[in-house]
Amino acid sequence: MDNSGENHQDFVVPPVEGVAGGGTGYGWNDGSLDCSNSLRGNIDPSKIPSADLVHVWSMPSTANIGQQEMPRPLEHITLLVARNERESAQIAIRPKVSWGGPGMAGVVQIQCTDLCSTSGDRLVVGKSLTLRRVVPILGVPDALVPLDPVTQINLLPGETSALWISIDVPIGQPPGQYEGEIFVTAIKTDTESLTQPFTKSEKHQIYKDIRNCLDFVEPMNGTPLEEVAERVKSATSSLRKILLSPTFIECSAENGQVDMMDEDTFTNFSVRLKLNVTVWEFSLPVTPSLPAVFGISETVIEDRYGVEHGSDGWYDALDQHFKWFLQYRISPFFCRWGDGMRVLAYSCPWTAEHPKADEYYSDPRLAAYAVPFAPVITGTDTTTDSLRKEVETLKTKSHWKKAYFYLWDEPLNLEQYNSICSMSNVLRNYAPDARVLTTYYCGPSDAPLAPNNFEAFVKVPKFLRPHTQIYCTSEWVLGNREDLVKDIVAEIQPENSEEWWTYVCMGPSDPHPNWHLGMRGTQHRAVMWRVWKEGGTGFLYWGSNCYEKATVASAEIRFRHGLPPGDGVLFYPGEVFSTNQLVASVRLERILSGLQDIEYLKLYASRYGREDGLALLEKTGVYLGPERYTLDHTPVDLMRGEIFCACRS
């Protein structure tokens, strides 16, 4: 990051561990910070440079920026991004003084420009460049609420606010150096209503007024001329009233033109943050190299959104979730748990014969899809009839190679293991080449397969063969013993199309990589570094929306009792934050970054071999083991930069 910005801010850099990674997030303070400011009394932000009113600084995507995060020097943002990749950074803002009303420090306006290259290519704001506000969950920065490219936020005295900026580079974007700016400007509180995005009530009123105008003038056939004139006059009056309302007053300059001098003055007082993006010629594959299959609870959707199973609203809700999740290089499946952890998993709510099914399964962003063992919608078909129809249809498709059956979650005893074998036998009557995925962390407790627990765990493939092809084991079992991986892999038969996948669920706990709320950013990202180093060929996560039951979409989010905070929750209903979009968590964005890191490492290994790829991961200090990975973001940039230098055309 460049430290030569025009907006100099005076303060002492706090002595924190992982200055670019973890941040100071939770209550740290330092009396040596120079927060002295000579501004007193009634402050007019339109006459004072915003740098005198607010601290602004940038942080990497792995930083947890809490409300007590202390200011740092302003550095411009520099990112390296491949095509078909998303890279993110954060902007932190903390007031130096108060210029707003009671209980608030003031209002700042955030405005982004397009990113332009010297050849005239653009990354457009609102499409390739997006802005979200980082909102705390249980006091931890996690929810990413979408913002408009020009937006305003309220600042509170003594609190740091964080914004999450993402660059999405289309797969066809020309490589090159792209530059843009982000303006942070303190504004008068009393002007907030003039430039704030429309509220729902304002939109409703504008819609009502315009609708009334149309009602006046539309039914004109056979209407006397005098009445037509009266209606036009009435509609004109209503439209003029709308244009002269406070909502549009800023647009009503003399002769119908906006005074651009005001805008120049506005930006001259702004804190200007430069954004430099290098787009290189490498394109991430559209189909992820590593299948990452994540569960979405259908019952949570039904309860919270009030949609009846099998209704049009139900299909619409599931369709929204499925399509939204694909942007994260994740292959989603919907799930419903039964007795004894039997699970009905399916990626498409429509039957295989429905046109929507082929649309879902053929999507190149989908690396793997779950086929339901039983009917998703209860009807006249029995389980076996439904299964036969699904399999017979899907076997004829080219995407059948992506199909798998997830029948049981973490079997514990002989009865449950035998149930998997019985279900697999039924399935193999119709598709001998079908792939069954089984998650497990132990062998059957009432029929020991070996003298000790770990050896019994290692022998599970022999017990389940040929009724499972994807052996999906818990990372918790390994602890910090990466050397045990070879014992697990030795039991897998790739020559018989068997695979070894892994998963996290509740465990492993700190300091091992996982996605719990409050863990470090690099700890979240390290889950996928671990997968790549250990050599797993896929990954499963049990649930992404498994919060406590609620029957109102906007109800407060509550994590499930008995689970670590954040476990099973990677996104939030938008209605909780007054938006109709699903709201990603910071952790979900870091999962995406980890999956993208795998593509970088795979590219490097394809040129120089896997051993050199592993050596790079360790040499840069990014990841050496489940208790030895970087706490700082700098090694991540170093690794990606070395891959860029070694693999660019």
Report d(CA 527, CA 535) in Å as an integer: 13
Q: DSSP per residue over 67-91, as a string?
A: TTPPP-----EEEEEEETEEEEEEE
Report d(CA 295, CA 567) in Å as an integer: 12
Question: Both tokens of residue 500?
Answer: 């070894």
pLDDT of residue 195: 44
pLDDT of residue 500: 98
Question: Both tokens of residue 545?
Answer: 């929306």
Q: How confident is the model at residue 232 (pLDDT cuts 50, 70, 90)?
A: confident
Q: How confident is the model at residue 79 (pLDDT cuts 50, 70, 90)?
A: very high
Nearest CA among 381, 378, 376, 427 for reference residue 404: 427
Which residues have CB under 8 Å from 123's CB, separation 6+?
114, 115, 129, 167, 169, 173, 178, 180, 277, 279
Cis ω before 466 (30° cut-off from 0)? yes
Nearest CA among 95, 105, 96, 76 for reference residue 165: 76
What average pLDDT is seen over the chain? 88
pLDDT of residue 562: 94
Q: How confident is the model at residue 206 (pLDDT cuts 50, 70, 90)?
A: confident
The DSSP call for residue 148 is: -
- Pairing of β 271-283 and β 403-409: unpaired
pLDDT of residue 515: 98
Report d(CA 156, CA 141) in Å as an integer: 16
Which residues have CB under 8 Å from 78's CB, separation 6+?
1, 2, 276, 277, 278
Q: In this structure, are residues 284 and 82 in contact, taking their beta carbons and an 8 Å threshold?
A: yes
- Pairing of β 54-60 and β 539-541: unpaired
Per-residue pLDDT at 403 exceeds 60? yes
Per-residue pLDDT at 470 exceeds 90? yes
Q: How confident is the model at residue 382 (pLDDT cuts 50, 70, 90)?
A: confident
Q: In this structure, are residues 275 and 283 in contact, taking their beta carbons and an 8 Å threshold?
A: no
pLDDT of residue 231: 66
**pLDDT tens digits, one per residue of 523-571:** 999 999 999 999 999 999 999 999 999 999 999 999 999 999 999 999 9
- Which residue segments constitute the domains of the chain, with CATH numbers given? 50-192+264-283 (2.60.40.10), 200-246 (no CATH), 292-586 (3.20.20)
**pLDDT tens digits, one per residue of 427-441:** 999 999 999 999 999
Weakest-pLDDT range from 15-19, 151-155, 352-356, 532-536: 15-19
Q: How confident is the model at residue 252 (pLDDT cuts 50, 70, 90)?
A: very low
Residue 357's CB: how many other CB atoms inside 10 A? 21
pTM score: 0.85
**pLDDT tens digits, one per residue of 93-111:** 999 999 988 889 999 999 9
Q: In this structure, are residues 299 and 547 in contact, taking their beta carbons and an 8 Å threshold?
A: no
Which burial class, exposed, middle or buried, applies to 355 when counting CB atoms under 10 A from its CB (0-12, 13-18, 19+)? exposed
Per-residue pLDDT at 194 exceeds 70? no
pLDDT of residue 201: 60
pLDDT of residue 384: 87
Nearest CA among 42, 50, 59, 68 for reference residue 111: 50
Report d(CA 330, CA 321) in Å as an integer: 12
